[in-house]
Every structure is written in structure tokens, then in C-alpha cells.
């Protein structure tokens, strides 16, 4: 469903993404991995429209979306989470989740309905339901900046999910989570995947990747160096070299 | 009610309205140091339309809304250049706007120039009080809507709001324009209370005070401007009363020095304002966690 064709991006003279092409199949769970600075988050920023693509194209469901502005990408079914938590710190949990519903409720009538005064409205109920399903039902009214890191991390995933995305981009969703939180996150993502949402995940935790994803794309220095199943990836010499360093010409 | 109390309540009401005028853009992350400019436009527009002698002599039921809407229109047009700036640059841009307005009105002979302009229709609290209540309720309503949610999201993180489909530019222009309408409203009402307006009433110090009491009240909830305006209206009066009763110099001659110390203290102790989300939660925490959903 998602296709990147020869995508390139430079900052100043530095080519951060160099001729990267890969596809994400509909309904699949694909991981994007690579050492620090490989360009994973840059790819996400290109996909979500924060950066403009210099060369190449991106298409979603065979429609070219390269030029679609960032604000409209949620309307075509793309939503994302962030490597560093980007929840709205002064909003409550449920308000953050309601922000995720924004593009579904973007009419004049919905925009001026007093959500906060008439609390039994459908959006609040939907948001609360999603939080309960994610095992976060006990925190709806709390200001998110007061909540533990692991909870905030999952609220971000819920916020992205309630926009009903076709493609969910997750930037290191398991980073900083303990093992039980990671397990709960995995359940949450598997549930989303089972309802047809396609997942593209940037992640360092290889166990998490192996458990969740069927397909892995490996980047290094802005280039795609390998693509395959998680088992193939961990045996590939190029990937091992990228992560552990090679024997020869790396010394110079 | 004594004339002194009535006088305080009039000032409180005007302070509350102008506080919401600055609060609404502030809730969307915009620091507005142009309160004086909107107040001047509203006051002079209304005075010119309503005054029997030198103006058009129209009824105030018409002139007050007209002045507020006209100020809103100016605010809407000004929002495009002003919203290209951020943070401290926005403070400078709005300040410059207020100075330009003052400069223009000072040189307009049709509204009396530097000598001011008389307002012939006098009203007592019967107009000001209900309008103030209405403005406060409107503030609470607006913040509780999805539009208000968008405003507060932009305050916290504009680029993420954009990624979730919020038309950030429209929301920012909207918040600024609504703020301008309320500023014009406060100006229009001012004239009918004090029967005389002059540009010198609204200098830079006025704009600074308004921004200060919005920030000290807190920009996270619609309680902020209400509490901030009360704080700024009552504390100097309380200091005066304490000074009269005790004769301590700190509360008589040095009243404003003491007030300054209190402001600095507030900024140190409560940098996010008096009324924060967490403080409200503490105040109104419900006993059953199930119903603990708070949106405004």
C-alpha cells in the first residue's frame, strides 16, 4: 500500500536519505531498523510531510502523496507517534486522545460543540473506550505531564490509533518501556493490526521487532542495505557489519 | 452599595473583559501586548457612533456591538502580519500595533485628537455587569469546545496539532480576532462608565498590566483571567485598606512597591499562573474515579 521510490533528502550538503525505495504491504507489520543516524526518523518525517522530499516519490494506495501537505495526510489515512513523547503536556489524557479524533470531527458544528461542558458526548465516550481497550482506562482526567513515561508512551499510540489510520507510523514505541509495558504495547498493536491497520515501526529492540513484524527494512547512512524477514536480517553480513562494525576499511 | 465599592466593581468588570481579550490568544500560545490598541479602537468607535454632541448619536444597543465588531475586523486584518511572528517578536509586533493605533487616534481631529472625546450616554453597572458575566461564560464555553481544544493544542505543540489535521493558521487567526472583539467591547463599555475617553488612558503600562494579570492568573484554564483580574484589582485595594488601618509605611506610601514584590513572588512560586490544571484538579477532585473526566 505504501511505496517509496528512489526517495532522496539532503540537509545542506549532507545527503541524509539516498535513493531509498521500499514497499509496505497492506495489513502487514513492517519494521524499519538501522544504527543511530541511519535516517529512520527522517524517513518518518518525509512520510508524515514534516520534510519535503527532494527527489523521488511516495505513494499510498497507488496515489502519489509526495506533494500532499502535512495537515492533510491524516485525512488520507496516515497517523504517527513520536520518538520523544509529543503529547500535549497541559491537556488531560482524554483531551489528547480527542485531538487524535480531530480530523473525523472537523465541521463547524463539531468544532463549536461544548465538549468540556456536556461530558457525555460521543467523542468523549469513544476516547474513553479506546483508552479502556488499551488498558489505560484509569487516567482519563489526568494532565498527561503528571503520568509515568510508559503510560504517556502508550497514550501517544492510542492518540494515533483513534484517527482510524490505514497506515500507522510508530517511531520507537517501545523505547524506555519495561518488559510488561512492552508486552502490553505489543497486545495493543496486534489488536490494531488485526482490524486491518498497516504498521510501520522504527524500533531498536530486536526482540520486539521479531515478535511483532514479518518484514524488516534496514537502513544505514541513509541507504537501504537489506530487506527481509527478521531471521534473515539477523544473519545478513551487511547488517551485522552496520551494527557491529566491519573488519577492514572502517578504520580510516 | 457605596460609591467606592461601585467604582471597584466597574474597574473589576472592565479588567475581566480585557483579560479574556488577551487570554484567548494566549491560550493558543500568542502573547499579546496590544490590549491598549484594541481598547482605543473600541472606545473611540463607540464614542463617535453614540455621542449626541460631536458624534452620530446612535443608541448604545447598536454602537457597543458595532464598535466590538469593528475592532474584531481590525484585529482580523492585523492578525495576518502579526501571526507571522512568534514569542518575544509577537510581543513587539502587538506593542507596535497599539502604538500605531494611539498615534493615529491622537492625530484624528474628528474624535478630538489629544484633548479626548466626551461620551454622552452614561450607564451604570446594569449594562457592564451582565456583559461581563456573558464574556466570562463565553470564555468558558469557547475553551470547552473542539475549537478551544485546538487552541490549547497549538499552545502546547503547534507542529503536532498540524499533523492531527488542525488548521492551525485558522485557529490562531480566530483566537486573535475573538480577542480583538472582546478588547473593543471593553473599550466601548469604558466610555459609558467614565463619560470621557482619551488615548493617554491606554498606554504601554496598561497593556503590560493586562498581559501580566493574564499570565499570573494562568493561561491553561478559563479560570485564569478571572482570578488574575481579581488579583490585580483587589490586592492594591486590600493593601490600601491594611495601610489605612495599621499606618505601616510599607502599605501606605510604598503600596505599589509591596504589590511589585507580590507579583515577583507569584512569578517565582507559580510560574505557570495561579490557576493551573493540576491546581484545579486538586480543588475539584471528585470522590469516584469513574466520573473524574475533566475537559475544561
Domain ranges across chain A: 2-244
- Residue B134, domain member (yes or no): yes
- Name which of B147, B289, B293 is nearest A124 (Cβ-Cβ): B293
3-state secondary structure of B171: helix
Q: Give buried/exposed letters for B7-24 (b at 16+ CB in 10 A, else e).
A: eebbbbbbbbbbbbbbbb
* pLDDT: which is higher, B54 or B95: B95
Specify the pLDDT at position B191. Answer: 95
B193 vs A4: CA distance, rounded Å: 66
Residue range A46-74: mean pLDDT, rounded: 94
Comparing alpha-carbon positions, the chain B residue that sits nearest to A145 is B278
Distance of alpha carbon A74 from alpha carbon A202, whole angstroms: 19
Number of alpha helices (DSSP H) and beta strands (DSSP E) in chain A: 9, 10
A158 forms bridges with which residues in the sheet?
Answer: none
- In angstroms, the separation between the Cα of residue A173 and the nearest Cα of chain B is 17
Q: Would the pLDDT of B290 be above 60?
A: no
Tens-place pLDDT, residues B10-46: 999 999 999 999 999 999 999 999 999 999 999 999 9
Shortest Cα distance from B276 to chain A (angstroms)? 9
Q: Does a structural domain hold residue B249? A: yes
B97 vs B34: CA distance, rounded Å: 6
Confidence (pLDDT) at A247: 57
* CB proximity B131 to A under 8 Å: no
pLDDT at A166: 95
Query: Which candidate in A68, A75, A95 is best for mutational testing of the B interface (most B CBs within 10 A)?
Result: A95
Which grid cell sits at B127? Answer: 449594562
* Distance (Å, whole) CA B295 – CA B149: 9
- CB burial class (10 A; 0-12, 13-18, 19+) of residue A74? buried
* pLDDT over 90 percentage in chain B: 70
- In this structure, the dihedral spanned by the alpha carbons of residues B65, B68, B71 and B76, taken in order and rounded to 10 degrees, is -90
Give the per-residue pLDDT at B292. Answer: 44
C-alpha cell at A220: 544505514
Q: What angle do CA A179, A31, A26 make, to 5 degrees?
A: 120
Full domain range(s) for residue B117: 3-291
Q: Which residue from A minimizes the CA distance to B221?
A: A90
Give pLDDT tens digits for A163-210: 999 999 999 999 889 999 999 999 999 999 999 999 999 998 888 999
C-alpha cell at B57: 448619536
At residue B289, the pLDDT reads: 45
Tell me the chain A residues in contact with residue B153 when contact means C-beta distances shorter than 8 Å.
88, 91, 99
Instruction: In whole angstroms, give the CA distance from residue B295 to residue A114.
Output: 10
Over residues A199-223, the mean pLDDT reads 92
Confidence of residue B291 (pLDDT cuts 50, 70, 90): very low
For chain B, helix (H) and strand (E) counts, in that order, are 12, 2
Q: Which of B166, B278, B296 sits opposite A116 (nearest CB)?
A: B296
Nearest to B101 by CA among B87, B124, B85, B82: B82
Return the pLDDT at B26.
Answer: 96
Domain count of chain B? 1
Task: Please report the pLDDT score of residue B284 as a whole number.
Answer: 79
Nearest to residue A130, comparing CAs of A106, A98, A104? A98
Residues 6+ apart with CB under 8 A from A252: none
The sheet carrying A14-24 orders its strands as: A14-24, A2-11, A55-60, A63-64
pLDDT in tens, B66-119: 999 999 999 999 999 999 998 899 999 999 999 999 999 999 988 888 889 999
pLDDT at B293 over 60: no
- Is B206 inside any structural domain? yes
pLDDT at position A246 is 60
A:139-198 residues touching chain B, CB 8 A cutoff = 140-143, 146, 159, 163
Q: Cα(B264)–Cα(B216) distance, rounded to whole angstroms?
A: 10
Copy the grid coordinates of residue B71.
475592532
Retrieve residue B65's grid coordinates: 456591538
Give the architecture-level CATH label for domain A2-244: 3-Layer(aba) Sandwich (3.40)
Per-residue pLDDT of B234-248, as tens digits, reads 988 888 888 888 888
Which residues share a beta bridge with A11?
A: A14
What are φ and ψ of residue A15, in 5° steps?
A: -85, 110
Cβ-Cβ contacts under 8 Å, B174 against chain A: none
pLDDT digits (tens, 9 = 90+) for B136-188: 999 999 999 999 999 999 999 999 999 999 999 999 999 999 999 999 999 99
By C-alpha distance, which of A234, A190, A241 is closest to A211?
A190
Question: CA-based angle A10:B167:B218, to the nearest 5?
Answer: 105
Residue B296 inside a domain? The answer is: no
pLDDT score recorded for residue A248: 53
Can you tell me whether residue A235 is helix, strand or coil?
A: helix
- What stretch of H or E contains B288? none
CATH number, domain containing residue B62 = 1.10.3470
Q: Which cell goes with B35? A: 490590549
> Which residue did the predictor score with more confidence, B53 or B138?
B138
> Residue A44 and residue A50: Cα distance in Å, rounded?
9
Tens digits of residue pLDDT in A19-28: 999 999 999 9
How many CB atoms neighbour CB B209 within 10 A?
16
Task: Check A92 against B141: CB less than 8 A apart.
Answer: no
Residue labelled with grid coordinates 493540576: B278
Task: State the pLDDT confidence band at B258, using cuts at 50, 70 and 90.
Answer: confident
Strand pairing of A198-202 and A215-220?
unpaired
Which chain B residues are Cβ-neighbours of A88 within 8 angstroms? 152-153, 156-157, 160-161
Q: Which three cell numbers stand for residue B8?
A: 471597584
Amino acid at each position: 500500500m505504501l511505496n517509496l521510490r528512489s526517495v532522496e533528502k539532503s540537509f545542506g550538503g549532507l545527503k541524509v536519505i539516498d535513493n531509498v525505495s521500499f514497499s509496505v504491504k497492506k495489513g502487514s507489520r513492517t519494521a524499519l531498523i538501522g544504527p543511530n543516524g541511519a535516517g529512520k526518523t527522517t524517513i518518518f518525517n518525509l512520510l508524515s510531510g514534516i520534510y519535503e522530499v527532494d527527489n523521488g516519490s511516495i505513494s499510498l494506495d497507488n496515489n502519489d502523496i509526495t506533494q500532499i501537505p502535512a495537515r492533510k495526510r491524516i485525512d488520507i489515512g496516515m497517523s504517527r507517534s513520536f520518538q520523544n513523547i509529543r503529547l500535549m503536556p497541559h491537556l488531560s489524557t482524554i483531551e489528547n486522545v480527542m485531538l487524535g479524533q480531530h480530523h473525523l470531527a472537523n465541521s463547524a458544528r463539531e468544532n463549536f460543540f461544548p465538549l468540556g461542558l456536556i461530558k457525555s458526548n460521543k467523542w468523549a465516550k469513544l476516547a474513553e473506550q479506546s483508552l479502556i481497550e488499551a488498558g489505560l482506562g484509569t487516567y482519563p482526567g489526568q494532565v498527561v505531564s503528571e503520568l509515568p513515561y510508559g503510560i504517556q508512551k502508550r497514550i501517544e499510540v492510542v492518540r494515533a490509533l483513534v484517527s482510524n489510520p490505514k497506515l500507522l507510523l510508530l517511531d520507537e514505541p517501545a523505547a524506555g518501556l519495561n518488559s510488561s509495558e512492552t508486552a502490553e504495547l505489543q497486545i495493543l498493536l496486534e489488536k490494531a493490526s488485526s482490524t486491518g491497520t498497516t504498521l510501520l515501526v522504527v524500533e531498536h529492540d530486536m526482540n520486539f521487532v521479531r515478535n511483532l513484524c514479518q518484514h524488516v527494512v534496514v537502513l544505514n547512512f541513509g541507504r537501504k542495505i537489506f530487506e527481509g524477514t527478521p531471521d534473515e536480517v539477523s544473519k545478513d553480513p551487511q547488517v551485522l557489519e552496520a551494527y557491529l562494525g566491519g573488519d577492514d576499511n572502517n578504520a580510516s | 452599595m457605596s460609591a467606592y465599592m461601585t467604582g471597584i466593581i466597574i474597574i473589576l468588570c472592565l479588567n475581566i473583559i480585557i483579560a479574556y481579550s488577551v487570554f484567548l490568544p494566549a491560550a493558543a500560545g500568542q502573547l499579546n501586548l496590544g490590549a491598549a490598541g484594541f481598547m482605543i479602537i473600541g472606545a473611540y468607535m463607540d464614542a463617535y457612533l453614540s455621542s449626541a454632541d460631536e458624534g452620530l448619536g446612535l443608541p448604545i444597543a447598536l454602537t457597543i456591538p458595532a464598535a466590538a465588531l469593528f475592532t474584531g475586523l481590525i484585529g482580523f486584518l492585523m492578525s495576518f502580519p502579526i501571526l507571522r511572528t512568534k514569542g518575544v517578536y509577537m510581543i513587539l509586533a502587538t506593542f507596535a500595533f497599539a502604538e500605531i493605533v494611539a498615534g493615529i487616534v491622537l492625530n484624528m481631529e474628528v474624535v478630538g485628537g489629544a484633548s479626548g472625546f466626551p461620551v454622552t450616554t452614561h450607564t451604570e453597572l446594569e449594562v457592564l455587569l451582565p456583559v461581563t458575566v456573558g464574556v466570562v461564560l463565553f470564555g468558558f464555553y469557547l475553551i470547552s469546545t473542539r475549537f478551544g481544544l485546538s487552541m490549547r493544542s497549538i499552545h502546547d505543540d503547534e507542529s503536532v496539532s498540524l499533523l492531527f489535521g488542525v488548521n492551525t493558521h485558522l485557529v490562531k487567526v480566530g483566537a486573535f480576532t475573538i480577542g480583538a472583539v472582546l478588547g473593543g467591547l471593553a473599550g466601548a463599555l469604558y466610555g459609558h462608565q467614565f463619560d470621557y475617553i482619551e488615548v493617554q488612558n491606554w498606554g504601554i503600562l496598561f497593556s503590560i498590566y493586562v498581559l501580566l494579570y493574564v499570565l499570573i492568573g494562568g493561561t491553561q484554564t478559563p479560570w485564569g483571567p478571572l482570578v488574575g483580574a481579581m488579583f490585580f484589582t483587589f490586592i492594591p485595594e486590600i493593601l490600601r485598606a491594611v495601610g489605612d488601618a495599621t499606618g505601616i509605611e510599607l502599605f501606605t506610601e510604598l503600596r505599589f512597591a509591596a504589590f511589585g514584590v507580590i507579583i515577583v513572588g507569584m512569578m517565582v512560586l507559580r510560574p505557570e499562573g495561579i490557576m493551573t490544571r493540576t491546581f484545579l484538579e486538586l480543588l475539584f477532585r471528585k470522590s469516584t474515579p469513574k466520573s473524574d473526566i475533566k475537559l475544561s
